[in-house]
Amino acid sequence: MRFDYVALPSRVLFGAGRLANIADEVRKLGGTRAFVVTTPGHRALGERIASLLEDAAAIVHPHAVMHTPVEVTERALAALETARADCIVAAGGGSTIGLAKALALRTDLPQVAVPTTYAGSEVTTMVGETSGGVKRTQRSPKVLPEVVIYDVELTLSLPAALSATSGMNAIAHAVESLYAPDTNPIAELMAEEAIGALARSLPRIATDPHDDDARTHAQYGAWLCGTCMAMTMGLHHKICHVLGGAFDLPHAQTHAVMLPHVIAYNFAAAPEAMRRIARALHGPDAVSGIAALAASLPIARSLEALGMPASGIERAGELATRDAYPNPRPIERAAIAAMLERAWHGLPAAE
């Protein structure tokens, strides 16, 4: 056996009520003026965090949006510099954490991430930014948050539908880590455990969004999924970045629609990964297992339902095959177009 495994240096606090530790964590990082980033919808949470930080709070910046447009980052950077902040606190989902990471990339300031969804990006060295309708990603140790606080109490108000799509987004990270060219036995163990934890908890959350135990296990699974995303990404992430950047489709919902189709596309080319996915889902195979999970959740099933125009299928296919990510099955233009056509109509996934 021969492999490389690189553990990323984050401090993780997990458990109900852990938000109360945030002031201590900021102080441990040497922070005296924290720039608190949220979306407009999480402004109240940002203000709550500012009150917990007391004199260490600089400003609440509630202006994060999907896909991290560079112009939004530039405005946030100007506000950060005006506030003379010396650390960043991100409270929210992938949009918030994405903006905080984009700021850290430019400033190298330390970060504390407080995720409220199952995005997983809080434990990766990856940041995606959108400019001119194209979303590009890069990796840098600068963007990895030094501290992550997983407080299940902050997820209890997450609507069932958003919980489902966010969880499917997380599962996509684990799925792609299983067939990444740089996968390893440690990542495979985490990915299988992560998929199983989310597959068991997401249907329970859909039935009862206030199920603390299900929420805790979903958050645990999402953490593992995000950790797996340290592996090389493949076709699924490439397509979702294309669809998000070109058509401004909602990030998590796009992942949820596309995941069954990409699993089907790669099914024959990644047999060991597919066996692990099927085992985690307790399904006869990976394709039917992920389809059954999706059917049990309140999620959109087509790109059309997300607002993508039919005229965009050809453009999406062209962009998805340009500068393609590593993938177990070759990226074939006609096959990708056929897959996108099926996804647009909401048809069952097929190889």
Distance between CA 59 and CA 103 in Å, rounded? 15
Helix (H) / strand (E) containing 81: helix 70-83
Pair of tokens at residue 4: 């490389």
Q: Where do the structural domains in the chain lie, given as residue ranges?
A: 11-155, 160-345
CATH class of 11-155: alpha beta
At residue 88, the pLDDT reads 98
Look up residue 12 and give its DSSP letter.
E
The answer to whether 11-155 and 160-345 have equal CATH topology is no
The one-digit pLDDT tens for each residue of the chain (351 residues) are 788 888 888 999 999 999 999 999 999 999 999 999 999 999 999 999 999 999 988 899 999 998 899 999 999 999 999 999 999 999 999 999 999 999 999 999 999 999 999 988 899 898 989 898 888 888 899 999 999 999 999 999 999 999 999 999 999 999 999 998 888 999 999 999 999 999 999 999 999 999 999 999 999 999 999 998 766 778 888 899 889 888 989 888 999 999 999 999 999 999 999 999 999 999 999 999 999 999 999 999 999 999 999 999 999 989 888 877 889 999 998 999 999 999 999 999 987
Strands 147-150 and 111-115: parallel
At residue 320, the pLDDT reads 87
At residue 76, the pLDDT reads 97
Reading phi first (left if > 0) and then psi (alpha if -120 to 50, else beta), residue 346 is in left
Distance between CA 28 and CA 221 in Å, rounded? 27
At residue 182, the pLDDT reads 87
State the sign of the Cα–Cα–Cα–Cα dihedral 194, 196, 201, 202. positive
State the sign of the Cα–Cα–Cα–Cα dihedral 28, 90, 81, 73. positive
At residue 246, the pLDDT reads 86
Torsion, Cα 284 287 289 295, to 10 degrees, reads: -140
At residue 117, the pLDDT reads 95
Helix (H) / strand (E) containing 138: strand 134-139
Secondary structure, 3-state, 171-224: HHHHHHHHCCCCCCHHHHHHHHHHHHHHHHHHHHHHHCCCCHHHHHHHHHHHHH
At residue 218, the pLDDT reads 97
At residue 12, the pLDDT reads 96
Q: Does domain 160-345 have CATH number 1.10.1740.10?
A: no
